[in-house]
Amino acid sequence: MKRIKTALISVYNKDGIDAIVHLLDKQGVTIYSTGGTFDYIKSLGIEAKTIESLTGYPSILGGRVKTLHPKVFGGILFRRESPKDIKQVVDFQLPQIDLVIVDLYPFEETVKQTSNEAEIIEKIDIGGISLIRAAAKNFNDVLCVASSYLYPNLLEVLTAQKAQSTLVDRKYFAAHAFAVSSHYDTSIFNYFNKNQDIPALKISENQSNALRYGENPHQNAAFYGNLEEVFEKLNGKEISYNNTLDIDAAIHLIQDFSEPTVAIIKHNNACGIASCKSLSTAWDKALFSDPLSAFGGIICVNRKIDEETAQKMNSLFFEILIAPDFDEKALEIVCSKKNRIVLKLKDIKLPKTNIRSALNGFLCQEKDVVKYEEYDIQMVTTQKPDRRELEDLIFADKVVKHTKSNAIVLVKNNMMIASGMGQTSRVDALKQAIEKAKSFGFDLKGAVMASDAFFPFPDCIEIANEVGITAVIQPGGSLKDQDSTDACNRFNMSMIHTGKRHFKH
């Protein structure tokens, strides 16, 4: 147990620091402070000493240099059990600083609020981060509090132990200190690296949300990040690991559609999706795509949900509903089931990269966000798609981009009528889609087909023709592209090459 005799306080966020300062003062602790923090402490009627009175130097360079001085860092870093250190402390008249409380300039928040580089750069804390590292390094003797979120923890320790700290306390706060400093440095690096392309991956998230379990009940799991930036949770149970993946898949899919659209997601894939002028009709068509798989699924829409649509949705058991907004009555209806998760989607730009662990490292890639307008379109067949077919082809291509490979998607009248996904053979994916469409009574005559990758052989074209599919969209790129093109010409089918493959694993 070590008694705190001298404290150094330099904080940006002062909310909650008053109780700590009062307690330190009551315990007879000498307080050194800087700038605005010193003024705040004095406003509380508590005695404090300026850092300048310790160093003999004023704050200079517009406040950039305040605490960077041997008397400050010597007072923090000297080892209390080292005779050599103690002699130097006496020789150079260094203080013994036992407690350091810092709250850093809000660099991340500033980056979010402005693009003014000069303003952003001034929010890179120098003295504060140095104080944190020094105090945390010397945890054997010094208690380091590195952020305002730790004020309550400090207050609890000081109250219970009357301004004393144990080694366990100091190591706990030191661990948090290095978490704060590493996160801060990561944010600064990522800001500077936006235009530098330094090949280094730096990820840091302070917020951790424990999930009910992982993919299976015997697996522990957590989400690192701030879900409240993405949506507002209006109703329902806690979100699980699988829920999170489905929500992510649903949002990325629905963002590709501008017309009123309803998507029903199961295991990260669309089991039903349709676009229509009316959201209520879009719901009818999306559900009709595969009413069996829709049970227990995730619903995502890109328009405000009205009462009529909510009434229809409420007749189905589903886990999650995601929408940009809800009518008052609609919200009451969809929240009538206490466990049903209802999310109000916020206007947010999601990250442009995908990161996943692989082997003993990480894979990082740009997300597949390319759109039809950006394709190198080639109408490779004699027959050209008519207006309705072209609309369906574009719709099908959007869906297949978000479907597990190997993938085939069949569409008719802006409605997915079936898909084959996750197959080791493209032929099997097509056969799966056809069998599913037929099982729900869909007429495939006049339907269109999208493939996530090229056809190495004309077999898929031949099978598609047999069931009445009239148009195809695929990336092309096979050495035998001409074989599939020739097959389309024989069957009077149209085919588009996009030049963009959409593998998804």
Q: Strand order in 231-235's β-sheet? A: 231-235, 341-345, 320-323, 298-301, 261-266, 269-275
Look up 137 and say whether it is catalytic: yes
Please name the residue ranges forming H helices in 102-141: 107-113, 117-122, 127-137
286: left (phi over 0), alpha (psi -120 to 50) or beta: alpha
**Rounded-to-10 torsion of CA 459, 465, 467, 472:** 90
Helix (H, G, I), strand (E, B) or coil at 20: helix
Number of other residues whose CB lies within 10 A of the CB of residue 175: 14
Q: How many CB atoms lie within 10 A of CB 44?
A: 12
State phi, psi for 205 to the nearest 5 degrees.
-130, 125
User: What gap in Å lies between CA 243 and CA 428, rounded to an integer?
Assistant: 28
Question: Of 22, 49, 137, 431, which one is the catalytic site residue?
Answer: 137
Burial class (CB in 10 A: 0-12, 13-18, 19+), 46: middle
65 φ/ψ angles, rounded to the nearest 5 degrees: -125, 110
CA dihedral over 481, 482, 488, 492, signed as positive or negative: positive
Q: Evaluate whether 57 touches 75 at the Cβ level (below 8 Å).
A: no
The encoded tokens of residue 95 equal: 């203080």
- Residue 338 backbone dihedrals phi, psi, to 5 degrees: -65, -30
Active site residue 502: no
* Selection from 440, 404, 436, 438 nearest residue 421 by Cα: 404
Select which of 202, 267, 344, 438 is catalytic. 267
What type of residue sits at position 3? R
3-state secondary structure 216-234: CCCCCCEEECCHHHCEEEE
For residues 259 and 344, what is the distance between their CA atoms, to the nearest angstrom?
Answer: 19
The secondary structure element, H or E, covering residue 411 is strand 408-411
Q: Could you check whether the bond before residue 406 is cis, i.e. omega within 30 degrees of 0?
A: yes
Q: With contact defined as beta carbons under 8 Å apart, do 264 and 272 qualify?
A: yes
Cα–Cα distance measured from residue 180 to residue 375, given in angstroms and rounded to the nearest whole number: 44
Cα dihedral 398, 404, 406, 409 in deg (nearest 10): -40
Strands (E), 55-163: 99-103, 143-145
Q: So which residues are the catalytic ones?
A: 137, 267
